[in-house]
Chains A and B, each alone.
Chain A
């Protein structure tokens, strides 16, 4: 780790870690945002020529304060809190030199370009190892750096499709519902963070760096649950009549188990009946057939829906929660973010200060650590916002020289 001082903006758990980030979109940015919230100094490298727009998230809606420029993307701000932003034109030799110098002073480099891009720029793992033998290098791409799909392109919904997650989410006799957002951008980011932290831990103890090739398709594929073994061990595929039905419980078996309508249009409530004790509470409330509740799940769902359909979400929850039956309203974003006491008590949606837009609420972290907790105060960096700070303070370049680099279009 860098022992030259604490480069982070706060005294976090990872204040000794410096990451040179060439990743972006949501998956790559999402991984390093976590480390930044724990105090790692994450230096985001962006292209001045395209105003950072190789990462389309910079200008992807919804836009903060209707700012349609590259400083307005709400996802960009959310996923780049607590990071430093610099610009380097990597087409220029002087730009490459600047990046080489940053790599020499970093613990890790992250990127999520398509396979081959970093190599063409002269920054694949072998190149980086020359610059810093113990560098940790984490690549996150859709399909990884070997195998027949290596050149293929992707984003969240595509790796969710090829990774089996889209198929596994839906109702019978319908096309796949899939995920209504890039679940694998989040989760690919989480797995990338696991890989990055594990590799940093190994390096901290042994001095050995390494390269992690993460393919989001494989990460997604590993998330399909125990049904994968039902297929390989028992030969029972998920693609079979009546399946998938992901609102039903597969493992363990529960019934009823589903998302049911309420008296209000498009407001829903989830109910799960785990065992006979739950059923003894729920069953008498329903106009249910006596006997085996597993015998006819379609009828059981209809009976359950008939009961919930006469009530509001609040009434269903009030009826079942005191009885110990698993129940939850399907909450809208506005309800989750503004009204849920648990989220407020947790401090789950902190306010970060964006240099152009001021105070903006963002995702916090769903963990709290007793000694070295996370902290989010700064929003995503403006394009090149930290050029002077990084090139002067980290690389030791005189401020007037930084200005000349800017005037020459190098940064």
Chain B
């Protein structure tokens, strides 16, 4: 039983808001996705099971619609429109990716929360991330290469996160007032406020950022943080040492790889270890301070050139140095930490006689756990829910 157990959401299917429905469904809400005859457009999106298209074979549909129910209704049919009104009349939330005429749905249900996730006409994930800001900040030091869209439909995800947050706020408020309300979510605005210092740096300081390879876009060029390791794979290791104890750790880490004596800049690390005021001001004014700080960076490269990425990651972290291996998404299912935490999630597909591995819980509730309660629904599988 999830924390949203007992909350009924009617979701008018759309790729922009499908993630919002999934987040609520996996938290226990009873999410009924309404599909048109022939099924949601998402069912025509690849990848497909064994690369064979088909409405029940879309992995896109599978991914974004776990734990939901499906009913089919024809918006051009008066009987079906009345059935939709009845369905919504018994619901807590109506979620749609277009403008909603709240009055037409909430006339008999003032407790209803209506949610419209809105995007400019003819938007796709790419155009949301371009116009909404993220793309400007992502890419490479080489500005002849284009800005990069972050992978994985994050424009849609960001809009959906705000849809869920605002829906939950309205549900909590309704516990006090007994009243529902209407919520507009702007997908473009959602990306606009999800760009960190690109936005607040401009708003509060007039600073305009420029993209840099694998690290924060900034108004000034920063040190690279992405290192290629001996096995050709990358780590992110923006390790910064300021305090003597932090330099001690870097020295101990070098020792653990037997590299302290071999590393040519050990003397600078030792100066850091002996104590030195490292602040924005001294970094600007004293070139030796800069050398000391840079020696940490050099030490990382020195180790990276000699060990594989996973060993770099885990050995640095064992010494308390923040670093991360750049995993390909598929590698997450084999990672020992995520396996120990049970993140890979087995989901049964009984009609296929198979069980497949899905991405797991983004958060762990001690009393009301997240769960995929069922694989994505077959087209119209839950039509009996429409019965009076």
Contact = CB atoms under 8 A, between A and B. Distances in A.
A354 B134 CA distance: 27
Interface residues of A, number: 153
Contacts of A249: 124, 126
A157 B322 CA distance: 10
A108 to B, nearest CB: 12
B76 interface: no
B107 interface: no
A147 B337 contact: yes
A278 to B, nearest CB: 8
B62 A61 contact: no
Nearest to B227: A175
B356 A233 contact: yes
B157 A212 contact: no
Contacts of A200: 172
A198 B4 contact: yes
A230 B215 contact: no
Interface in A186-220: 186-187, 190-195, 197-202, 204-205, 208-215, 217-219
Contacts, number: 513
Contacts of B322: 152-155, 158
Given A74-B200, A187-B161, A366 B189 contact: yes
Given A62-B204, A167-B326, A198-B4, A229 B169 contact: no
A259 B171 CA distance: 40
B169 A369 contact: yes
Contacts of A325: 122
Contacts of B330: 228, 231-232, 237-239
B166 interface: yes
Interface in B319-351: 320-333, 335-338, 340-341, 343
A406 to B, nearest CB: 27
B154 A183 contact: yes
Contacts of A192: 363
- In this complex, the member of A75, A192, A229, A266 whose beta carbon has the largest number of chain B beta carbons within 10 angstroms is A229
A177 B358 CA distance: 26
Interface residues of B, number: 150
Contacts of A336: 131-133, 192, 199
Interface stretch (B206-214, B252-260, B289-297): B206-214
A305 to B, nearest CB: 9
Interface string B199-236: 11111110111011111110100000110100000111
Contacts of A253: 46
A307 interface: no
A252 B46 contact: yes
A232 B200 contact: no
A355 interface: no
Given A155-B322, A169-B149, A161 B181 contact: no
Contacts of B181: 369-372
A307 B75 CA distance: 41
B197 interface: yes
Contacts of A163: 327, 332
B152 A227 contact: yes
Interface stretch (A89-97, A343-351, A383-391): A343-351
Interface stretch (A116-124, A292-300, A326-334, A393-401): A326-334
B196 A185 contact: yes
A236 interface: yes
A222 interface: yes
B214 A178 contact: yes
A49 interface: no
- In this complex, the member of B158, B177, B194 whose beta carbon has the largest number of chain A beta carbons within 10 angstroms is B194
B325 A162 contact: yes
Contacts of B6: 205
- In this complex, the member of A161, A175, A183, A228 whose beta carbon has the largest number of chain B beta carbons within 10 angstroms is A161
14 contacts: A13-B172, A35-B169, A168-B150, A181-B216, A191-B161, A213-B363, A223-B157, A226-B45, A272-B124, A327-B122, A328-B127, A328-B131, A333-B201, A346-B186
Given A201-B4, A234-B59, 14 more contacts: A17-B172, A75-B196, A144-B341, A204-B175, A205-B6, A212-B365, A218-B341, A226-B45, A233-B356, A253-B46, A327-B127, A337-B199, A367-B163, A369-B182
Interface of B: 2-6, 23, 27, 44-47, 49-51, 59-60, 62-64, 102, 120-124, 126-140, 143, 145-154, 157-159, 161-166, 168-173, 175-177, 179, 181-190, 192-205, 207-209, 211-217, 219, 225-226, 228, 234-236, 238, 280-281, 313, 317, 320-333, 335-338, 340-341, 343, 356-368
